[in-house]
Amino acid sequence: MEPTFPSLIPLLAVAVSLAAVPLILLSSSRPNIREFWTLGAAVAKFGLVLALLPQVLAGRVAEARLFELAPGVRLALKADPAGVFFALVASGLWILTSVYNIGYMRGLGERRQTRYYAAFAVCLSATIGVAFAANLLTFVLFYEILTVATYPLVIHKETDEAVRAGRKYLVYTLTAGVLLIAATALTWQTAGRLEFVPGGFLAATTLSARTVKALFILFLAGVGVKASIMPLHGWLPTAMVAPTPVSALLHAVAVVKSGVFGIIRVTGFVFGPRLMAELGLNTVLAGFAAATILLASLLAFREDNLKRRLAYSTVGHLSYIALGAALLAPAALAGGILHLAFHATLKITLFFCAGAIYVNLHKEKISEMDGIGKVMPWTMGAFTVGAIGLAGIPPLNGFVSKWYLGLGSLQAGRAFALVLLVLSGLLNAGYFFPIVRRAFFRNGSLPAHAKEASPALVIPLLVTAGLSLGLGLYPDLFFRFFRLASATAASVFGGPGS
């Protein structure tokens, strides 16, 4: 295990956006000030997370011990390679989303913007808490805060459709939360510990196979809802009724990525590779992941609403990460972790593009997008970059993560996974490339005044598209994602449960 040292930075990284919430609420009548607090908190959060990077790359882990709820049950934060990886993704993309939010919310003249920005800040605090959770208890606490804080964003428009979507979201996620709490309580009762240990800690216990399997089913259901593993995915396409920035960050980065990050924690730091293999738990997870990848891709074809097509694409791509954990090979796990970040930059680009189109031209259906690339070339150029990357075509970063997933498939002797990845790439091209063709190679009936979206909308999507290209050419660019993913995989497969 990595040597730890006491530090307040993980706690400050969680708390900084919470501290901004009352300032945002007090600035409700002064939009410029309110947005200043939002941007300031986003930059400060990212700076704090970035400050942890040199230490974790040097093999040292910052730890903040908070307080005991009961003897041996402590709330604690720990910035290990996996946590810093996820926190960098979420906090970095929050900055761009905050800029995008300004253009989107002002462009549409949305109401209840103060509540919107405040809920966003709470969600980001909860997400960093999930990233830095040192044990299952802390993980569950922030995981459930994230669930509740996301609800006002899902129902933001307060239409009947939005309220129904919010109700469905809560039914799915709160039920999953109960199962996750039950799994955590049963783990404490039977194993007597909750701390995340690279390689897992359950392998060192004397639990029966039946108990371990029951625990795994509870954990899988608990994190599988936010990870949108089929058939637990139904809330995600419905939640696309939320404003596009919510879809972009919370449903392409924070909420759903907390689910697949939970799968990485559970498989790699609770059960461990050896126990997973001995009891065939990885086969169960791989089966669900493979089915989700294929079915979600097929369902995406039938959606004419752009955001819903993107949602089904997200459902499929989240299971790439679950598949990486299930293959029990270092390269596959590293590839799955990389896909957590690389899918985020690609998918947030596509959601940003969808939002720019909606604000600028009020179009949501793919069938209405003929010729749109001729009047919004920067937006649809970035969309093309995202589509190519998600299809796994070089030199975009989606190719890199899929390459390591494929390499891990061969390491594990699971050729079916390699075939699945190739087939999935073809399906991605099948439901994305016709959108690009419509945009650039067809003539449509667009308004005479149609033009590119405002800079506040276009600049963030160009940055995320450029970042996707840069990370494809050099996966360690800026944030050392490749080193962090490799370090996490090495710790899991070099730990006591490996």
Q: What is the per-residue pLDDT across 128-148, written as a single tens digit (0 to 9) for each?
A: 999 999 999 999 999 999 999
1 has a pLDDT exceeding 70: no
Q: Are 306 and 361 in contact (CB under 8 A)?
A: no
Q: What is the per-residue pLDDT across 244-287, written as a single tens digit (0 to 9) for each?
A: 888 887 777 889 999 999 999 999 999 999 999 999 999 999 99
pLDDT of residue 111: 85
Q: Cα separations (Å) of 323 from 147, 283, 379, 412?
A: 24, 10, 32, 12
Residues 6+ apart with CB under 8 A from 466: none
Percentage of residues in the chain having pLDDT higher than 90:
87
CA 117 to chain centre: 19
pLDDT of residue 252: 75
Q: What is the per-residue pLDDT across 2-47, written as a single tens digit (0 to 9) for each?
A: 789 999 999 999 999 999 999 999 999 899 999 999 999 999 999 9
Nearest to 136 by CA among 204, 184, 192: 184
Residues 6+ apart with CB under 8 A from 161: 241
What average pLDDT does the structure give for the chain? Answer: 94
Q: How many helices (H) and strands (E) does the chain have?
A: 20, 3
Q: What is the per-residue pLDDT across 289-315, written as a single tens digit (0 to 9) for each?
A: 999 999 999 999 999 999 999 999 999
**Could you tell me the sign of the dihedral formed by the alpha carbons of 326, 329, 334, 339, in that order?**
negative
d(CA 178, CA 101): 32
**Could you tell me the sign of the dihedral formed by the alpha carbons of 27, 30, 33, 35, in that order?**
positive
Helices (H), 302-414: 306-326, 330-361, 372-375, 377-390, 397-411
Nearest to 369 by CA among 446, 447, 450: 446
195 has a pLDDT exceeding 90: yes
Q: Are 218 and 284 in contact (CB under 8 A)?
A: no
**Residue 220's pLDDT band (cuts 50, 70, 90):** very high
Output 495 or 96, whichever has higher pLDDT: 96
d(CA 136, CA 133): 7
Residues 6+ apart with CB under 8 A from 236: 228, 251, 256, 311, 314, 315
- Using CA atoms of 22, 24, 26, 28 in order, give the dihedral in degrees to the nearest 10: -150
pLDDT of residue 265: 98
Q: Are 187 and 160 in contact (CB under 8 A)?
A: no
Residue environment code for 263-272, b if the CB has 16+ CB neighbours within 10 A, otherwise e: bbbbbbbbbb
pLDDT of residue 498: 66
Q: What is the per-residue pLDDT across 35-67, written as a single tens digit (0 to 9) for each?
A: 999 999 999 999 999 999 999 999 999 999 988
**Residue 497's pLDDT band (cuts 50, 70, 90):** low
CA 110 to chain centre: 26
Output 112 or 250, whichever has higher pLDDT: 112
d(CA 260, CA 482): 18
pTM of the model: 0.96
